[in-house]
Structure 1
Amino acid sequence: MIARTLILLTALILSGCQNSKPIEPFPPKPNLPYHAWYIGLQAPDYMESWVDGVDLTDVNDLMYERVFGGVASTRTPADNKGEARGWPERPGAGSSFPMSGIDLPEKITVRWQSLAEPEAYRASIDIPQWVRDEMRTERRVFCLFDNDYVYQYRKYIAIGVAPGGVAKFWLMGSCLEPLEIGRVEGEINPVGPYNGTSNGEFYRPPSPNAQHYIDTHGIPFGSW
């Protein structure tokens, strides 16, 4: 009797295993030569911006929403001593954040508030294959910080956001020359700031130094 019961239980267990849904696999672990790559945010002098969020799709077609956001790095020197027109010849990474556990990007979308206008924008860019190839390539470069030659990767994707909906993307390393990925003219975000959760209200007005520059020089649309 006990033997028959054990046989029936075993059959039920096996039947249940056969009918159960397969367990979904975890996303593949990125096969990168470093722990994480980075996204950085910046804006031209005085053109302060608040980034509502950066969304991306990686090479495995996995989508990630709001992997980074917040204040875009910018300079606001007093007495209008900065220059809002154009981008620096060698832009920095800006305020950056690691994309830990995320594979290299296929597409990046940035949503931001241009506080100088104010207006809310969004822009997307498809990342070319040469960018991902370069992100995996180690380069030898002389680094002033070390006063010596070092080996580095270009593992920073810097995003510059500007009034008028312009977004520019660079690939860079700490001591390596930045490479331009592309420039995108975005669109007004139809849902408004904060992805439509703030009833149209913007984050804050520009800082006093930024507002003084705008009042005396205006916004140099078309220079970015």
Structure 2
Amino acid sequence: MNKLKAMLSLGLLLWLAGCANGAHRLPYDSWRLGFGAPSYMEVWIETADVVDVQERVFRRAMSGLPAINTPKNLKGDPRGWPERPGAGAGKQVLGADLPRLLYVRWQSLAEPQTYEVYIVIPEATRLAMVKPERGYCAARGQWREDYRDMLSIGLAPGGIARVWLMGACLSAIDVARVQGTVVKEGPDGGQSGGQYALPLEPESKAYIEKFGIPYGSW
């Protein structure tokens, strides 16, 4: 009996330690950070860093290409944001508690220009991330309890970052629209000699040459 009590006490202590460092604070294993860009307005993400509520930093939680649509017939419309934004291209932020701050540095290949932005995640957003809600999952054709465990960020020319919170079966909530600033050193912090990561796709180049960049629509 004493051995059993000792084992139970040890288990309780380990559980409490896990709670203290955030390992058991979320009702899910991890949350997702995703990115998108307006049609033809191509982007290369140099880094997306996360600071959680415990002040831990998760560097390069995401980098590379966001989700983007580039129809070959130039019939895509880059103006504004979709009524129902998608989750974007991204990754699970493993081991993180709820986010407090995001830092994103990206190359706007459409201009071209390099931007950075600091995005403060409101307390109301964090509360929504751990609040279960009943939603309809079209893919499964059923109602189920779900969490908004996805942060989706749209990156647009002019240094605009738009943030939504969503769940697989729940509608998106508008979190913030943030104006980024130009990185004076240029792409890759000046380490690439002013060279951007990728050339524009032919469809994007053709669209921009014909219609220009719709600044002010984002």
TM, length-normalised to structure 2: 0.88
Map of 1:80 onto structure 2: 74
Please tell me whether the aligned partners of residues 52 and 195 of structure 1 are also in contact (alpha carbons under 8 angstroms): no
Range moving further from structure 2, 155-164 or 192-201: 192-201
Map of 2:111 onto structure 1: 117
1:1-150 aligned within 5 A: 28-30=21-23, 31-150=25-144
C-alpha distance in 2 between matches for 1:76 and 1:148: 33
Q: Secondary structure at the match of 1:191?
A: coil
Q: Secondary structure at the match of 1:178?
A: strand
Range moving further from structure 2, 37-46 or 64-73: 64-73
The percentage of counterpart residues that share the same residue type is: 42
Q: Secondary structure at the match of 2:213?
A: coil
Map of 1:198 onto structure 2: 192
How far off its partner does 1:92 sit?
0.2
Range moving further from structure 2, 52-61 or 25-34: 25-34
Map of 2:202 onto structure 1: 208
**Structure 1: gaps spanning 5 or more residues:** 1-24
Deviations 1:87-119 (A, max 9, x none): 100000110200010111111111100110110
Range moving further from structure 2, 73-82 or 60-69: 60-69
How far off its partner does 1:142 sit?
1.4
C-alpha distance in 2 between matches for 1:43 and 1:160: 5
C-alpha distance in 2 between matches for 1:162 and 1:32: 31
How far off its partner does 1:157 sit?
0.4
The residue type paired with residue 177 of structure 2 is: R
Map of 1:153 onto structure 2: 147
Higher CA-based Rg: 1
Range moving further from structure 2, 141-150 or 25-34: 25-34
How far off its partner does 1:175 sit?
2.1
Structure 1 runs of 4+ off > 4 angstroms?
none
C-alpha distance in 1 between matches for 2:31 and 2:40: 28
- Please, what is the CA RMSD of the aligned residues? 1.5
Please tell me whether the aligned partners of residues 43 and 162 of structure 1 are also in contact (alpha carbons under 8 angstroms): yes
Map of 2:167 onto structure 1: 173
**Structure 2: gaps spanning 5 or more residues:** 1-16
Map of 1:18 onto structure 2: none
C-alpha distance in 2 between matches for 1:183 and 1:94: 17
How far off its partner does 1:29 sit?
3.5
Please tell me whether the aligned partners of residues 66 and 90 of structure 2 are also in contact (alpha carbons under 8 angstroms): no
1:179-190 aligned within 5 A: 179-190=173-184
